[in-house]
Chains A and B, each alone.
Chain A
Amino acid sequence: MANRRAYIFLISVLFIGAIAMSTAATLVVLGVGSMKTSLTTMQSVQALHNAETCVERALRSLRLSSSYAGNETLTLTEGSCMLLVIGGSGNADRTICAKGIVGNVVRRVEAQVMALRPIGLIDSWQEVGNFRLCSE
């Protein structure tokens, strides 16, 4: 009888301890997940700005020379961006497609340019999941 009470006590302690550890472990997992999410969020925001940086620089290059072809990768402060081949020719009706890359995060921006000079006139400038104006 006394032994049985001892076993009950010990097993109860072990059960309670296991539950407490499981709860704690869950919180650890959640914490790690939170850290990963925050890192990915930061990378995602930077990736979008990288894509837009590529579009900005492409516009500048095109205004300097309308024969600028794009199709290059630019290394930036954080991550990089990739310009696809710029569509159209001349001063009007050009298309620019760019991908911003930080770590494993990729975001895409495409812009339709009505005119480059005398001032840049943009028909559309938007983030897309998949390019519609360019072939990737």
Chain B
Amino acid sequence: MMINRGMSRHRVSWRVVYNFRIMRRPAFLLVEALIGIAIFTSLVVAAFTVLLLGQGASIRGGDRIRATEITNQAIEGAKSMRASSFAGLTAGTHGITTGSNGQWTWSGSQIAHSGAFVASVAVSSLASDWVRVTATTRWNHGKNGSGTVTIAADLTDWKASLGGNWSSISLEGSYTDSGTPLFNDVVIYGNYAFVSSETSGGGVGLYVFDITNKAAPTRVASSFTLGAPGYQMALSGTGLFIAVGSASDEVRVYNVSSPSSFSSSNLITSYNLSGSARARSVAIDDTTLFVGTTESATVGQDEFYTFNISSPATITLQDSLNDTASIYDISLRGTGAFLAASMDTAEIRVANVGNPANISMIGGYNLTDVYDGLSVVAFGVGTLLGRTNGSPISELTKFAVGTAALPPSSPGPWYREIGGNVNAADIEASECAALLATSNGTKELQVVNVDGTSLTELATYNTTTGDGRGIKYDATLDRVFMVTNKALLIIKPASGTWTCP
């Protein structure tokens, strides 16, 4: 405190007070600033730390979801391999990827995915028809964390054939008629077989057989008569659809829920096609009935029809196509109807039936010479066409399944000499063996390997009851039912496990 002795007392005291107040004024800027900085720094550090933790958790969560998807994909790839061949699920640890053909396949012991994820699949065999597939995906992203996702699933070979060996066949039982009814087709309903026939040789058009004892099938409902020739048949629930050689009701529907008491009163409804007695072939897909007829040059008399049969009591026309050919057989695959036809330039015809109310003929395939197509089977890896017997040709043709609906000209087709008409054809459940009803005098039933391209003969059966005219394979019974001029034959495979040769 400085005192200026030259000043008055009043001025001196005021100056002292003023100086003192300046000296006593709180240092708020410094302290508060320091406190504020400290608080702010603490909060920022805390926030930043929490931010990093939260971000890290989000990243780890995303990594786990990504790994889960990769792992799930690996399991699904293994399931796809199982669908192709159960034997492909070899024990061990594998990487899995898609090959050049787009199919899933093993590749090394693990596969690296983008984002530094590494996936592997471990297959352990629990039984000859049972494996456990464990897919694992690992990642290590350094400070962003690491982890593992594991998913397991059991796969069994439920598609393995437990049935017979179709390389060795024998007759289990038969019914031989005293006359020559000229049986045409056969369908199986539970423990009963419905067999259609001509009437020219004394047949009644439709027969019913009890096949409970397959060694000795017996005819039931023997008083029933169709009143006209019966041709191809198809079942939808308890409804039997039959192509009839009748002038006014070419397609009939019968209720077959009580086969042993089958009678004309079981007729549900019928449909009169244009023309007379032209219906020959039928096929059913869900609620659509397909009918093929003999060729007619008359305008308005078409050769291929689609009907809505969603209501059991009605057959409602949806669409029809005019064609310059008779349609003897129909087989369905996807949106295509494959037709065995009499056209000289297209023995197999293909129609687009994706929309049954608006069908169209896509085209066909012209085989060598002019022998008619009689039978057709469209299956998973090919299409078979059976033709009438001709010395310049091989009567059985296998087409590959192309990317388009029409049978491709390459690869294939492949051929096999049958030595007779291929009047009817079917295929057994594993789609290895085709079953052919033929007019070959010593091989009326021929079993042909259609899994590959060699079309080798697996087995044959010789009957003295006439030509093979109709044939049906029943998957639940694992039996072939073939009808001839005068007999219903029940053919069984040899016992024991069988793999397609």
Contact = CB atoms under 8 A, between A and B. Distances in A.
A86 interface: no
Contacts of B40: 13, 16-17
Interface stretch (B61-69, B245-253, B418-426, B456-464): B61-69
Contacts of A120: 158-159
Contacts of B72: 45
B156 A59 contact: yes
B43 A21 contact: yes
Interface stretch (B145-153, B220-228, B254-262): B145-153
Given A24-B46, A31-B58, A34-B62, A119 B160 contact: yes
A119 B427 CA distance: 13
Contacts of B60: 34-35, 38
Contacts of B42: 17
A14 B39 contact: yes
B404 interface: no
| Residue in B43, B153, B157 with the greatest tally of chain A CB atoms within 10 Å | B153
A128 interface: no
A49 to B, nearest CB: 4
A23 B47 contact: yes
Contacts of A39: 64
Contacts of A63: 158, 162
A32 interface: yes
Contacts of A91: 476
A73 to B, nearest CB: 15
Interface string A41-54: 11001100110110
Given A31-B58, A41-B65, A13 B36 contact: yes
A85 interface: no
A71 interface: no
B476 A92 contact: yes
A37 interface: yes
A28 interface: yes
Secondary structure call for the A interface: helix
Interface string A97-136: 0000000000000000011011111000000000000000
* Chain A interface extent, by class: 35 or more
B29 A118 contact: no
B161 A78 contact: no
A6 B43 CA distance: 19
B56 A31 contact: yes
Interface string B61-101: 11111001001100100000000000000000000000000
B158 A60 contact: yes
A18 B44 CA distance: 10
A86 B26 CA distance: 88
Nearest to B75: A49
A119 B50 contact: no
A96 B290 CA distance: 32
A32 to B, nearest CB: 6
Nearest to B44: A20
Interface of B: 25-26, 28-29, 32-33, 35-36, 39-40, 42-44, 46-51, 53-58, 60-65, 68, 71-72, 75, 129-130, 132, 134, 149-164, 429-430, 475-476, 478
19 contacts: A6-B28, A6-B29, A13-B39, A14-B39, A16-B43, A21-B46, A23-B51, A27-B51, A30-B57, A31-B57, A38-B63, A52-B153, A57-B156, A63-B158, A76-B154, A114-B475, A115-B475, A117-B162, A119-B430
